[in-house]
Amino acid sequence: METLSFLGMGLATALHPVNLLYCFLGVFCGTLIGVLPGIGPPGAIALLLPITFHAPPVSAIIMLCGIMYGAMYGGSTTSILVNIPGESASVITCLDGYEMARKGRAGPALGISAIGSFIAGTAGLCGLVFLAPPLAEFALRFGPPEYFALMIFGLSVLLYLAQGSMAKGFMMALLGLMLGSVGLDPVRGYPRFTYDLLTLRDGLGLVQMVIGLFGVSEILLTLEKGVRRKIFETEIKGLFPNLKDWKVSIFPITRGSILGFFLGIIPGMSTTIPTFISYILEKKISKHPEKFGTGAIEGVAAPEAANNAASSGAMIPMLSLGIPTGASSALILGAFIIYGVIPGPMLVKESPEIFWGVVGSMYIGNIMLLILNLPLIGIWVRTLKTPYPVLFPLILLFCLIGSYFIAHNTADMLIMTAFGLLGYLLKKFDYELAPLVLGLVLGPLLETALRRSLIMSRAGFSIFVQRPICIIFLGLALLVLISPLFTRKRYAKDMKEGTED
């Protein structure tokens, strides 16, 4: 009953006119960003973060969260109508969504995507409400050593699940940790890696770096590739799925919601992997697997449910433990810190209006998205026709203005441009940016936890093997990092045996 009363307080906070406006702006901008290929949720959050600096913290966080889960809705529209995913979590939707559109069933594809996303998002929020507070209560037992071990575990899982090689992921995480150390020492206060430049005394600036890494780099890559969009010209009708569609979709939506939610809780899992796993699962258990890839509606329903449930699940470790699970949640964590609010177990105790206000806004935001997506399909289609030569210069201008107005410093524009070029090169050579961003955000927190632990133990590392929770998390991190060695040996053995046969 106490949880329900807190949830009621959160809904009341979210229904405040100012918070309601920011929630609407967040989900609207998120849907728009999801519709436009080449930007993605992290880039959208980075671009719009500067305009929230003068807003109350709870309103700003509500808006940024709205962008994150709103992009999940919008990404399906461009996947179905253009066969180009608006963001990575919608890649798998292209397989059956576009085929449905070609067969004249774009309406049911868009409808089941929006309604399935609403069901999954709502179910994920129920899990968030009942799991996050107990997890925060448990985390109150954590001291600096436990937080250090937990963050090491989170980084190791992210490296293990990186799309590229683990070596590249490790290099990116290490680079992020190094860049996060620029500025004043958090304990002694002396400058590090500033080279007598006043601009670097406060650090490189998270917002400027991520605007460059995600916003500018995506523009450069898309211009280089010259992506051509061929919008499937057909009359979109029958947005509400019929009874037969519901019959084959309801169980995939249920399974996708459950799978996406629990996989979304895992640090480093992101929202892309659950969509692929959900699609593969539905194809495996289907009585007609040959239909997948030719316009099966369950091939749209399950992944779309999984990615929205995963975005709700990702909020649990971020809000209750202060551990982001991907690039988008890492940026929201950085926004919390900028606003002077530290996510973690004390957030529920010390700032319940922020925690429950964000949760309440996610309920309202899901309803807004359902109302927005179905009637505004025509507007999204016209938005997709915006020529890139018009769209991208405007985005680049917005990047420059956003980075300048953070501190009214022209050096920040140079930092953003430099990291835009760096992000372009890293993406071009298949280096993942998520470990780098997590390193940037977690670096200062990780260093502070380590140094506090060493102060507690009088510079002795034995404190990390004297606490059971530390031993568990560090042991799991070690197991995750060395597991590829055993997998590689087993693979080599199987290849050898196959050759001998």
3-state class percentages of the chain: helix first, strand second, coil last, to nearest 5:
75, 0, 25
Residue 184 dihedral angles phi and psi, to the nearest 5°: -85, 140
In sequence order, the 6+-apart residues with CB closer than 8 A to the CB of 466 are: none
End-to-end CA distance of the chain: 65
Ranges 87-96, 106-115, 257-266, 434-443: which has the least confidence: 87-96
pLDDT for 491 equals 44
Q: How long, in residues, is the chain?
A: 501
SS3 137: helix
Tokens of 6: 């807190």
In one-letter notation, the amino acid at residue 456 is M
- The type of residue at 375 is P
CA torsion angle for 349, 350, 353, 358 (degrees, to 10)? -80
DSSP 36: S
Per-residue pLDDT of 351-403, as tens digits, reads 888 888 888 888 888 888 888 776 777 676 666 667 767 777 877 887 787 67
At 429-483, the pLDDT tens digits run 888 787 787 788 778 878 888 888 888 888 788 888 888 888 988 998 888 878 7
Query: Which conformational region is residue 236 in: left (phi greater than 0), alpha (psi within -120 to 50 degrees), or beta?
Result: beta
CA distance linking residue 75 with residue 460, whole number of Å: 50
Q: What H or E segment, with its residue span, contains residue 256?
A: helix 243-264
Specify the pLDDT at position 422.
92
pLDDT, tens digit (0-9, with 9 covering 90-100), for 85-105:
666 667 678 778 878 887 878
Greatest mean pLDDT among 150-154, 318-322, 325-329, 413-417: 413-417
How many of the other CB atoms lie within 10 Å of CB of 455? 11
Domain extents in the chain? 2-500
Backbone angles phi, psi at 143, to 5 degrees: -110, -175
Residue 232 has pLDDT above 60, yes or no: no
Q: Tokens in use for 161?
A: 């699940």
Closest C-alpha to 23, from 14, 32, 31, 11 = 14
Residue-level pLDDT at 381 = 67
Local confidence band at 270 (pLDDT 50, 70, 90 cut-offs): low
